[in-house]
Structure 1
Amino acid sequence: MTGTAAAFGALHRDRAPGDPLVLPGPWDASSARVFEEAGFPALATPSAGVAASLGYADGSVPPREMFEAVGRIARAVSVPVSADVEDGYGLPARQLVGRLLDAGVVGCNLEDSWGREGTSVGSLKDAREQADFLAAVREVAGGELFVNARVDTYVRGVADLDETVRRARLYLAAGADCVYVILAPVDVIPALRDAIDAPLNVVHLPDGPSPEELGELGASRVTFGPGLHHRAMAALKGIAEGLR
């Protein structure tokens, strides 16, 4: 990797147990500046949080608006920014990589399902087709992007550790740098850590283990999805109600 993409990748490696890379999820330029000023070394945008800030439901943002929003976030801070771009919006690899680099980000999440979360199991993509897509992204991007391959088995109702590991290994062989098994139960994180020879991204949930505890279980990287946006909006609602 080159430039800040290399620096971003280095943040994922050689993490001590209990010390995962914690990446807050900004939804706009002002929230990104707050997280940077708090001392976080990098940020990772959540598609759902950005969608809410733009007035859309998760998964409904027109691609142009998502890339513009991500670009505003990346320009607002000096730390590396990775972008959640869902399943790539159906864009060919060359076009997708070009838009990401034009936005100024150094990494991306790409998920292996389509449609709104919580829909049918059939929303999972064919794993080998997804691996081919990731390989094309890697070929075009070279070392300019850190690719976080999201595995959606658990979020789509396929609670199968073997299938999850199979997909993760396919994606890593295709050139992904990190694996993100979203909503994997806490008790399977150690098994995932043992089976996957790469950084492991785990989502932090409000009622779940702390980032440090997730790191002790095997997470290399902890993200929050739209959780921080939800907490900020709850706080804002309380302020608004106090003004009435």
Structure 2
Amino acid sequence: MEIYLAEHTPGGIGDYGTVPLGPPVTAGSSGQFTASLPVSPGQWIIATATDGDGNTSEFGPSVRVGAGAVVCGNVHLLPGWNHVAYFGSQPLLLGDAFPSAANPAVTAIYEAIDGSSGYRRWLAATPAGRTLPALEPGREYWFLATAPVTLEGGFSVSFPVPASLQAGWNDVVYIGGSADPRDAFASLGDRLLQVAKWDAARQRWLRYGDGRGPAWALELQQVEACSVYQLLLSEPATLVPLQP
């Protein structure tokens, strides 16, 4: 295996090697190998393989160098609707007030049922119709707040967290390395039709994808670790975020 620094474009189509990153390394019988490389987080690398007869492959898929960990911390809600994840250390049972009886700033919480138009919900005003009993760590929700409030919590992981998605719209929290949408969602291929992110400050959607929205909507330039997105898929698929 010979590893190079890659000339990378978002999405990885046409990536190629530019600078060799040391001498070739030999893979084991399983195809795995280790190498110490002079690279920095955010750079991309790519490799060729040469067999025992001296035949060398074309460049394989490029890979982004990660920083080693992603940290998801406190979540800050703004007045109005917020589309965010809950990062507490354990499930949180929902009572009659949230986040507490002394500071009941959240009046409604909704959890989308992926692939459908349905929701599970918690309403502060009435116990009737409550179908969302608890918040789960690492899950994404809609919070309706009457005042700014902080959801305390946080965790750190050294690996990307895959998400199984259904055909149609899906709410998903992206736990992986921050990147251009074409790289962050590359594992979905052409099954991904559109990406949407809620802007709580302006109470509107930002969109990326098929271009059917108005010009102001095509503003999503970076997929951020620990943020929540809506993804429209043509068929079921698994999102594999980039290595953090």
Bucket of the pairwise TM-score, normalised by the shorter protein: under 0.3
- Relative to the length of structure 1, the TM-score reads 0.27
- Relative to the length of structure 2, the TM-score reads 0.27
Greater Rg by CA:
2
Higher relative contact order (CA 8 A, sep 6+): 1
Q: Which has the higher strand share?
A: 2
